Structure 1
Amino acid sequence: MNTDTNAAARSADTALQARINDYWDHRARVYDEAQHREGRDVVDRDLWGRVWASALPPAPARVLDLGTGSGHAAFVLADLGHDVTGVDSSAGMLEIARARTAGTKGASPTFVLGDAVDPPVAGGFDVVVSRYLMWTLREPLTALQRWRALLRPGGVLAVVDSTWFDAGLEGSPSEFIDSYAAVMDDLPLASAESIGATAEVVTAAGFTDVTTRPLTDVLEVDRRLGVAPGHRPRLQYLVHGTA
């Protein structure tokens, strides 16, 4: 592409990401409260502790949590003994995550404001994780190639996601529809009909030994204890690969 085309593409990417960030900035408090609502917080710590422990090397490992949001995965991973850096492009989400470090015992994650497609961190990580990020990526292949470069040889990728919108946005909260309806076509994995689409991108980015595992235990807990308002239980998957 020529210089003008490159500049236009960068401008479009910036505008798209700004729209997404604005939604999550405004939803940060409500989203975090749903993550930590009574009856789920303790259960989720144990549940997700087992999910992540099954996918990661023994602690301590250097872990990069991309799309960390208000830090749900980052705090669970820190509790497991890992050295965790969380990156998110929503300042509102990170404000909550950083505030929560004051109430933690032991080591806390470090949180960095930045774009998950091009994380503003140096390499040498043992693990890259994400939870509910893949569907939001405007350039998933480019992002994964950059993530692989941040891993040491033999490092691990572990991402959790689902086919949240395989039937479109019907049934989603109205505020979400208002913000995302205009950008869904620019998010390649947002409307994927199978988690296989995510696994294919992971493989295309150069990861090896790529596996996909359904998280049936998470689905059972979601059905028993309920999910966030405006959502319904969906089978989630752990996609795992090696750099």
Structure 2
Amino acid sequence: MSAVQDNVDAYWTGRAPSYDDYQQRPERLALDQAAWSAVLAAALPAAPADVLDLGTGSGYVALLLAALGHDVTATDLSEGMLERARVHAASAERAPDFRRGDAVAPDFADASFDAITNRYLMWTLREPERALAAWHRLLRPGGVLAVVDSTWFPDGLDRDTTEDFVRLYDAGVRDALPLAAAESIDATRELVVAAGFRDVTVTPLTSILELDRAHGVAPDHEVRLQFLVRGLRP
């Protein structure tokens, strides 16, 4: 793929244990699961639908989608994240099919899915135009694209001074990620529209914001409003 993707994968493999542990913290887990399940259920077709979760990480969204009754395929390129996802899948009543795969060029036949989802992928996605074109092809007519993200670094990626981030999200990586330092979610919306999706909407996720304000966010992170960008394949 590229040295850029190698660096991104290495960073997230290193982060996988702490990232997943934070998402699973018991004092907030049930509240988070309820809030995210509501967001996803409102955005996606009625279950059961064939759903592809891209950049699945440790499988948080994929597992919720499966629990909602969907048939879920989930991919990531970080082996460390996939390892965590498969551990969770082993104890799930209804488990996604976790596979190693590239979100920019998913290896599936056209018109294979009723919905495509991702969370916290767009900001760290190389070649988003190419990726969105691929996602458009993979959806059946009337299929739903639902992506969640925020403007995590509106003042630039220099805000994160952790050693691995500075080393692996180097200048070459930053130059290859056009949404990494976006100042508005409109940058993501515009790419979705340009890819040919219709009825594109942006929904502020106030329920998630309230949880973040009440319970705090991960170390070295700021509370930020997150958004659901949703579009339909004609």
Kept in 1, the 8 Å contact 2:153–2:159? The answer is no
Residues matched between the structures, number: 230
The alpha-carbon deviation at position 40 of structure 1 amounts to 1.7
Pick aligned residue for 1:112 from 99, 104, 127: 99
**Aligned residue identity for 2:106:** P
Kept in 1, the 8 Å contact 2:204–2:225? The answer is yes
Report whether the alignment pairs 1:178 with 2:167. Answer: yes
**Aligned residue identity for 1:207:** F
Report whether the alignment pairs 1:142 with 2:130. Answer: yes
Report whether the alignment pairs 1:156 with 2:144. Answer: yes
1:66-105 map, 5 Å: 66-105=54-93
Paired with 1:14 and 1:144, the residues of 2 have a C-alpha distance of 18
The alpha-carbon deviation at position 179 of structure 1 amounts to 1.9
2:3: which partner in 1? 15
**Aligned residue identity for 1:113:** R
Paired with 1:143 and 1:169, the residues of 2 have a C-alpha distance of 22
- Give the aligned CA root-mean-square deviation in angstroms: 1.1
1:220: which partner in 2? 210
The alpha-carbon deviation at position 178 of structure 1 amounts to 2.8
Match of 1:191, SS state, is coil
Paired with 2:13 and 2:22, the residues of 1 have a C-alpha distance of 15
Report whether the alignment pairs 1:196 with 2:186. Answer: yes
Match of 2:2, SS state, is helix
Kept in 2, the 8 Å contact 1:118–1:143? The answer is yes
Q: Calculate the TM-score normalised by the size of structure 2.
A: 0.95
The alpha-carbon deviation at position 172 of structure 1 amounts to 2.1
Paired with 1:63 and 1:43, the residues of 2 have a C-alpha distance of 24
1:232-243 map, 5 Å: 232-243=222-233
Call closer, same or farther: CA 1:173–1:33 in 2, change over 3 Å.
farther
Pick aligned residue for 1:57 from 41, 45, 51: 45
Q: Calculate the TM-score normalised by the size of structure 1.
A: 0.92
Unaligned 5+ runs, structure 1: 1-12
